[in-house]
Amino acid sequence: MRIALPYNVHLGEYNPNVVTGGIEKFCQQIINTFDDVHIVNIDNNKSVKDNTTTIKKFAKSIDADIIISNWHTASFCGSKILDSEIPIMFVNHGHYGIASIINRMKNLLNYNHSCYMVSKYQYEWYRTMAKRLKCDDVLVDGYLNSSYVEGDKPDLLDIEYDCCTIGRCDSFEKKPFLLKGWLRDTDYRTILMTNTPIADKDKKYFEKNSHWNGVLMNLKHVDVMKNLSKSMTYFSTSYQETWGITALEALTHGVPIILNSNNNKHSSTSLCGKDSHYKIVSNKLELSDAIKSFEKVDRKEIQDISWERHQYKDWKTNFINAIDHTIEKFSRSNLFNS
């Protein structure tokens, strides 16, 4: 199975030791799972035509069986890539409130490529948006979990922090400094792990929040996980999550999750084996109360149940089935139309 994997370099080229975001982690998982994955770096600052031409030519040059595309912008799933001779498996990871993404998914399906989402919560969000915009109903080929667990369970380390968060330094979606702002008038010990921002708007966001203590930058993933495992709770600051890779990482380290929401719902609740493993909050008082509520939580129970629910072998089987479905559908349709 030869996979062409377009990689958006807006946060830097692929680095197996540094995870800059959820989609980048997802790409890392593909690379770690399959033996014959070939990355083609794509700069979104270049024209859509140049980028789609690069992707299509690259896939043909390596005799790829499939293109797995993970970003929603036109260079990765827009109209100019539809005529690819190699089947495209588009995985939609986010909430993008623009009609064009609905049209892109529809067009991919019309050209016999495939579209996947990462949760039913995400799918229902898009269906609601489509109804509001009076678009056609949203169709997908299925769902792919954003992540999994494998190897040995990490040790449950002594608690050093009351709450932590992990998030890209993003002023619009992730907003990791919400943790610091909401808990500024408390005595809670908090730690925030993020990256050096690249976009101007995110640089301004970082500068505005540069006075906070307990902020760690650009850590290796192994060090991020070590700090996470020393926290009593994990705060997911983004209410726009469609799955929640860092939420899963918290649960599998025995750390209960606190989920920021603007409608009393959050996609990451589906990751939990029990309702008692999470709290939903919408303001600083609720966050403070949620942290206190987890002071005597059974960390081992959280870890054991989460580990059982998110096995790597199940993720891999589902992913292989999605690849096979994409290739078979594309080949069958082309044979029928030839």
What is the rounded CA–CA span in Å between residue 307 and residue 152? Answer: 10
Domains of the chain in sequence order: 3-148+312-337 (3.40.50.2000), 163-309 (3.40.50.2000)
CB 310 within 8 A of CB 148: yes
CA–CA distance, 132 with 126 (Å, rounded to integer): 10
Half-sphere exposure of 302 (CA within 13 A, CB side): 29
Q: CA-to-CA distance for 144 and 189, rounded, in angstroms?
A: 35
pLDDT tens string 258-310: 999 999 999 999 999 999 999 999 999 999 999 999 999 999 999 999 999 99
Give which of 35, 36, 38, 42 is closest to 5, Cα–Cα: 38
Q: Buried (b) or exposed (e) across 9-43, using 16+ Cβ within 10 A?
A: ebbeebeeebbbbbbbbbbbbbbebbeebebbebe
Which residues of the chain are modeled with pLDDT < 50?
338
Per-residue pLDDT at 173: 87
What pLDDT does residue 335 have? 59
Find where tokens 């303001």 sit: 283
Distance of alpha carbon 281 from alpha carbon 283, whole angstroms: 6
DSSP 235: E
Predicted pLDDT of residue 338: 47
Spatial contact of 57 and 63, defined as CB atoms under 8 Å apart? no
